[in-house]
Structure 1
Amino acid sequence: MGIEIGGSIEKVNGKEISYNEFVERYLAKNQPVVLTGLMDDWRACKDWVFDNGKPNLKLFSTHFGNSKVQVADCGTREFTDQKRVEMTVSEFIDHWIDDRECGGASNSFQEGNGKFVLYLKDWHFVTEYPEYVAYKTPVFFL
């Protein structure tokens, strides 16, 4: 037994539709739509990933590595949330790379006999690096 979903969702090139047309055709009618092409010129899509889709971790360590960030240790609970630790982006990336070289998950590290998944949480990148314009929010979402 499962949920059956019918119908289809229209795909529209976001560069070829005006805001007013978007509102009239989709927003006002609460009609879902997939907007394509809006990330084509984003610096983040060029700098942050390789052509094969894998993240460019060295770029983050090199250019943003000294940033202090909150990281959730998903293997340890504190009250109703995961334990938080502060580390630099470089330290987080080092954990990620070290674990991958040992055959582990993409963002976890070994500690004793347990495996803990780290989650870089709530990094206010845009505020910290305003001169690095990683993306431009499309007009449809302002």
Structure 2
Amino acid sequence: MSISNEGQNISLEERLRSAGLRPTRQRVALADLLFAAGDRHVSAEALHEEAQNAGFSVSLATVYNTLHQFTDAGMLRIVQVEGARTYFDTNVSDHHHFFFEEDEKVFDIPSGGVEVRNLPEPPEGTEIANVDIVVRLRRKRH
């Protein structure tokens, strides 16, 4: 399986190696599910179900571990929308999100749609790594 990475087609195995990860069968299979369809937001549970439906037997714990390894390697970004509800985003660029409460779906806000101003100075010895904005949406109530 090949994926596009900044305009270049590279194999999943090469992408994993370049991120410092050994391309195990489980990592390659999960990466294929994650990155084959372009940018997306997925929970560990949803990816686990996709893997099962694709005939790939993997534990939920392995899915969680792999998603966190991909995140630590810079291949994914975590989007926290509720206390315990975490989504993994294949688009690692700086951007913000809509969260549809009824469907529990996360979507990117188009770039340029949000401007963040007047951030506080971070405490001494620290720097701001990222600012995440999640705009929660629900259908209008009549």
Query: Normalised by the shorter chain, which TM-score bucket?
Result: under 0.3
Q: Normalised by the size of structure 1, how large is the TM-score?
A: 0.21
Higher relative contact order (CA 8 A, sep 6+): 1
Higher strand proportion: 1
